[in-house]
């Protein structure tokens, strides 16, 4: 079983719709959760992080965390063609000091104009 | 600020050749990392340096060595390249404080092909 699992996609949504990206993780000790966006041929860039159960909103992005069910999701409202990218979920147990982050393989999102 | 820089951007090697990938950050970060990214495998940690003067193995260290030259620079060396090391290599850095919000920032990557 992979430590961090994501559906590889592609997930296709029409422009203006809500895109919902999901991630499950196996380590119950995980405490920090990150969403990165990676455009084709580029490096990952952080969208947001979350470490408390519930929702965290930042502009059009909302991260949702449910530690009991061991999943984290990212909602993108009013999706734009520029949101078309691969979204990486990253999970860390945060044992202090070194931040051991495990990445999922990513979900490819396509926003159709 | 340039953030995290990597050189070279592209490299083609023959099996058995050696090379060093360079990484530098200007954000005064304590921790630095080397990842490789392969299709369907995600980002996998090769080595990391939690702070200047320390280095440790990650998930896939075989065939690689690293040097934390100073606080800014962290290099990755392939002593005898193999086709299995064909990949995209990313360097990253983070503040390294004991906070659960410590975020990693990535360089632009090096695309390496070993023939």
- Output the tens digit of pLDDT for each of chain A's 113 residues: 568 999 988 999 999 999 999 999 998 888 889 999 999 999 999 999 998 899 999 999 999 999 999 999 999 999 999 999 999 999 987 655 556 788 999 999 999 99
> Which of A6, A58, A101, A104 best probes binding to B when mutated, by most B CB atoms within 10 angstroms?
A101
β partners of residue B23: B6
Q: At A52, list the tokens.
A: 């408390």
Alpha-carbon distances of B29 from A76, B61, B92, B93, B94, rounded to whole Å = 30, 22, 10, 6, 5
pLDDT value at position A59?
96
From the list A43, A46, A94, which residue is nearest B100 (CB)?
A: A94
pLDDT value at position A51?
87
The helix/strand/coil state of A72 is: strand
pLDDT value at position A72?
97
Handedness of CA B29, B33, B36, B39 (dihedral sign): negative
CB-defined contacts A:B, below 8 A: 54
pLDDT value at position A32?
87
> Which of B43, B47, B98 best probes binding to A when mutated, by most A CB atoms within 10 angstroms?
B43
CA angle B48, B46, A39 (to 5 degrees): 100
User: What share of chain B has pLDDT > 70, as a percent?
Assistant: 96
Residues 6+ apart with CB under 8 A from A51: A31, A32, A33, A65, B100, B101
Do A88 and A33 touch, CB atoms closer than 8 A? Answer: no
The whole-number mean pLDDT for each consecutive block of 10 residues of chain B, a chain of 115 residues, reads: 93 97 95 92 91 91 96 96 97 80 90 97
β partners of residue B24: B5, B73
CA distance A37 to A24: 17
- A101 inside 8 A of chain B by CB: yes
pLDDT value at position B2?
82
Q: Is A31 in Cβ contact with B106 (below 8 Å)?
A: no
B contacts of A105 (beta carbons < 8 Å): 40-42
pLDDT value at position A1?
59
User: In whole numbers, what is the pLDDT of chain A averaged over residues?
Assistant: 91
Neighbour count for residue B97 (Cβ, 10 Å): 14
pLDDT value at position B98?
63
Report the gap between the CA of B35 and the closest CA in chain A (Å): 11
Tens-place pLDDT, residues B81-109 = 999 999 999 999 998 766 666 788 999 99
User: In whole numbers, what is the pLDDT of chain B averaged over residues?
Assistant: 93
- A61 inside 8 A of chain B by CB: no
Pairing state of beta strands B42-49 and B56-57? Answer: antiparallel
A contacts of B104 (beta carbons < 8 Å): 46, 99, 101
Alpha-carbon distances of B107 from A52, A57, A94, A110, A112, rounded to whole Å = 28, 26, 23, 24, 29
Which residue is associated with the tokens 């993780």?
A25
β partners of residue B92: B33, B106
> Which of A98, A103, A104, A106 best probes binding to B when mutated, by most B CB atoms within 10 angstroms?
A98
Do A79 and A18 touch, CB atoms closer than 8 A? Answer: yes
């Amino acid at each position: 079983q992979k430590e961090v699992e994501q559906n590889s996609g592609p997930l296709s949504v029409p422009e203006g719709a809500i895109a919902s990206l999901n991630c499950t993780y196996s380590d119950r000790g995980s405490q920090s959760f990150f969403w990165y966006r990676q455009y084709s041929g580029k490096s990952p860039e952080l969208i947001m992080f979350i470490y408390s159960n519930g929702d965290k909103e930042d502009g059009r992005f909302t991260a949702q965390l449910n530690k009991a069910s061991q999943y984290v999701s990212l909602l993108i409202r009013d999706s734009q063609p520029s949101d078309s990218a691969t979204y990486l979920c990253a999970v860390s147990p945060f044992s202090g000091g070194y931040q051991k982050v495990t990445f999922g393989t990513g979900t490819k999102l396509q926003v159709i104009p | 600020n340039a953030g995290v820089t990597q050189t070279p951007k592209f490299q083609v090697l023959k099996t058995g050749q050696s090379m060093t990938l360079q990484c530098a950050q200007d954000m005064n970060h304590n921790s630095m990392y080397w990842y490789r990214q392969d299709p369907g495998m995600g980002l996998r940690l090769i080595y990391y340096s939690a702070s200047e003067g320390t280095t440790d193995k990650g998930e896939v260290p075989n065939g690689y060595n690293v040097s934390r030259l100073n606080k800014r620079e962290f290099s990755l060396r392939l002593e005898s390249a193999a086709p299995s090391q064909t990949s995209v290599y990313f360097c990253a850095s983070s503040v390294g404080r004991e906070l659960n919000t410590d975020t990693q920032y990535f360089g632009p990557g090096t695309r390496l092909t070993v023939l």
